[in-house]
């Protein structure tokens, strides 16, 4: 059985937001709802200053703090270990405990504005927004519909700098497993022991110049 994962090379991420745009286009998320966001981090003092862009998405944790507090059982692990939310079962009123339980702040509630244009829905919005239930919690699912069809997540495919590598963590010969095993790719908040499937590589610019970009493919 596969367990799909992702590695992101922060030294190659340029903050172009292509992943965010591709995700929004692929999944037709509502206004204000981003399944992947870009955080910016500045370090150093002038003139030696560096800036890092950090794509943040669901970490696909094996130990799911969000699921542990969900009162309706709406959060489960699907095919390939991908964490999924059943919007029809996400019916708890008021404060959503799963949102506050996520240490990465990547769960969002569909509420408020349902159109980019006041009192008007484009034909595209009318067709696709029906899948996004009002008040339901949503997050990245690694483009589950694409993955089970043998394709890469939309963010991986769209990244122009090849900063993202998608693969099977249960496939010993995969490029992703080789990278994670080398200890170059590390999980965020590893101290929480959540066993995530998303990892980050943080090389210096000099190291990155001498290396081949992440393949971005599924091995």
What DSSP letter does each residue of the chain carry, written as one string?
---EEEEEETTT-----HHHHHHHHHHTPPTT--SSEEEEEEEEETTEEEEEEEEE-----SS-HHHHH-TT--EEE-GGG-EEE-TTT----SS-HHHHH-TT---EE--S---SBTTB--HHHHHHGGGS-TT-EE---TTHHHHTTT---HHHHH-TT--EEEEETT-TTSHHHHHHHTT-EE-TTGGG----SEEEE---HHHHHTSPPP-----
Q: What number does CATH give the domain 4-209? A: 3.30.70.20
pLDDT, mean of residues 165-183: 93
**Domain residue ranges in the chain:** 4-209
pTM: 0.88
Task: List pLDDT tens digits, range 69-115.
Answer: 999 999 999 999 999 999 999 998 888 999 999 999 999 999 877 77
Task: List pLDDT tens digits, range 117-164.
Answer: 767 777 877 888 888 999 999 999 999 999 999 999 999 999 999 999
Task: List pLDDT tens digits, range 24-48.
Answer: 999 999 988 999 999 999 988 888 8
């Amino acid at each position: 059985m596969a367990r799909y994962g992702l590695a992101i090379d922060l030294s190659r991420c340029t903050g172009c937001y292509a992943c965010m745009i591709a995700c929004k286009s692929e999944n037709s998320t509502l206004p204000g709802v981003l399944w992947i966001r870009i955080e910016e981090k500045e370090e150093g003092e002038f003139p030696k200053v560096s800036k890092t862009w950090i794509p943040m998405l669901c970490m696909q944790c094996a130990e799911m703090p969000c699921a542990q507090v969900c009162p309706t059982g709406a959060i489960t692990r699907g095919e390939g270990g991908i964490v999924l939310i059943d919007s029809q079962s996400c019916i708890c009123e008021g404060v959503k405990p799963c949102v506050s339980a996520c240490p990465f702040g990547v769960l969002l509630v569909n509420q408020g504005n349902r159109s980019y244009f006041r009192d008007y829905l484009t034909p595209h919005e009318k067709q696709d927004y029906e899948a996004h239930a009002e008040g339901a919690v949503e997050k990245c699912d690694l483009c589950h519909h694409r993955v089970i069809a043998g394709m890469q997540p939309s963010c991986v495919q769209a990244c122009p700098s090849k900063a993202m590598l998608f693969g099977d963590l249960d496939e010993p010969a995969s490029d992703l497993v080789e990278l994670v095993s080398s200890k170059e790719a590390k999980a965020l908040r590893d101290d929480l022991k959540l066993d995530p499937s998303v990892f980050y590589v943080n090389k210096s610019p000099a190291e990155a110049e001498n290396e081949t970009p992440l393949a971005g493919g599924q091995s």
